[in-house]
Amino acid sequence: MLVLEEVDMPTPQVKAYLDKHGVRYETIAYKHAYDAQRVAAAAHVSGKQLVKTVMVKVDDRLVMAVVPADTRVDYELLRQALGGEKAELAKEHDFKACFGDCEVGAMPPFGPLYGVDVFVDEGLTAAQTITFRAGVHGELIQMSYDDFARAAAAQVLSLAYRS
């Protein structure tokens, strides 16, 4: 993979973070879409490579769950793993201030950049590459899973299920 110099990432904080960690990545522009399957189709990316960042509240703690785009987060497993009493999908007002450089729903899964712990589904560890939103709707970042795990300081758990 190569860093595409002609495509400027719209989130300078994310670009600086990746550069600081020596991560090789590619940016992919796509026609704006919200639904993960439409994003994958618009970007001509396999739905198996596309991951989503889900913001979760475990008690009063905000965490990121990174799961394949075609799955759901198992909140109960995450709650148990973190020893919490309650885990639920965070509401926009719970996390919006943490991601000042990002559009809501397009947060990249780099929790250390935003002061949030990252938990990644164990199913992603076998992926050679993953693709995720770059901080704005209309652009994705693609990189090796290993580079992602290192830069995100991701902790691996069984988090995802298909409905």
- Full-model pTM: 0.88
Give the number of domains in the chain.
Answer: 1
Range of the domain at 97: 12-161
pLDDT tens digits for 3-49?
333 344 558 899 899 999 999 999 988 876 666 667 766 776 776 78
**What CATH number is attached to the domain comprising 157?**
3.90.960.10
pLDDT tens digits for 87-122?
999 999 999 999 988 988 889 999 999 999 999 999
What does the block give as tokens for 123? 């199913």
DSSP string, 95-145: HGGGGTTS-TT---S-HHHHT-EEEEEGGGGG-SEEEEE-SSTTEEEEEEH
Nearest Cα residue to 57 out of 84, 90, 79, 80: 90
